Amino acid sequence: MEKRQELYKGKAKTVYATDDPQRLVMHYRDDVSAFDGVKLAKLDLKGETNNKINAYVMGKLAGAGVPTHFLSVINERESLVKAMKMIPVECVVRNVVAGSMAKRYGIEEGMKLPEAIFEFFLKSDALHDPLVNDDHIRVLKWATADEIVEMKTLTHKVNAVLKPLFAKAGIDLVDYKLEFGHPLDDPRGPLVLGDEFTPDGCRLWDAKTGEKMDKDRFRRDLGSVIEHYRDVARRIGAPL
């Protein structure tokens, strides 16, 4: 597989074309950002750590019957993925109250929910990813009614796999975001999980101490960001 031109540079990843239009290279950089790019830094080993965590998690999900865009690890910082047309909304699962949910409803962080809460957000940095509902998505044609149902079903299936996986490692899977789309080689087929699953896009707390093990360590200036990312990898069994 020949890596070719850069197609897209995000906050922490760069996507490259290949000689196969249905396949892309996802390159994980050492960049870290918060508050829609206002706070920026570079952290040694971040790119390769996230690449390995994502590969491990995607493998577990695929093994449980969740279709993903992930194909294989290429090297320390890069993975091969399916080219996708993404739906422009984020699916957020909350198992514990934290972050924007705590602020929005005036609830103290740390309350464990009796069942997972699902939320949709429009994917837009310029608008700070506003909360949206099913009607916004359907009427504004960001996704069809069937796709909305499919996103919810797949997201809850992911939660049923990952929540116990992290619990076994002594980690509370507090909340996280997922993104879905259609592979370019199957544009009318079932939805597929895209993007990534790493400590950049979820909240992970030590189950005993409540210590944060995710990007909140960077957001809140807690330090030892990569040390905690790598501890997450070791605990869940992702090879470093």
- What tens digit of pLDDT does each residue of 201-232 get? 999 999 999 999 999 999 999 999 999 999 99
3-state SS class at 224: coil
Q: What percent of the chain has pLDDT over 90?
A: 97
Radius of gyration from C-alpha coordinates of the chain: 17
Which three-class secondary structure string do you get for 89-104? EEEEEEEECCHHHHHH
In this prediction, residue 170 carries a pLDDT of 98
Dump strand ranges (E) for 156-195.
Answer: 171-178, 180-183, 192-193
pLDDT at 202: 98
143-162 mean pLDDT: 98
Mean pLDDT for 225-240 is 97
Mean pLDDT of 181-185: 97
pTM for the whole thing? 0.96
Gap between the terminal Cα atoms of the chain: 24
pLDDT of 77-97, one tens digit each?
Answer: 999 999 999 999 999 999 999
Say what the pLDDT of residue 38 is. Answer: 83
Confidence of residue 35 (pLDDT cuts 50, 70, 90): confident
**Shortest CA distance to 157 belongs to which of 93, 98, 96?**
93
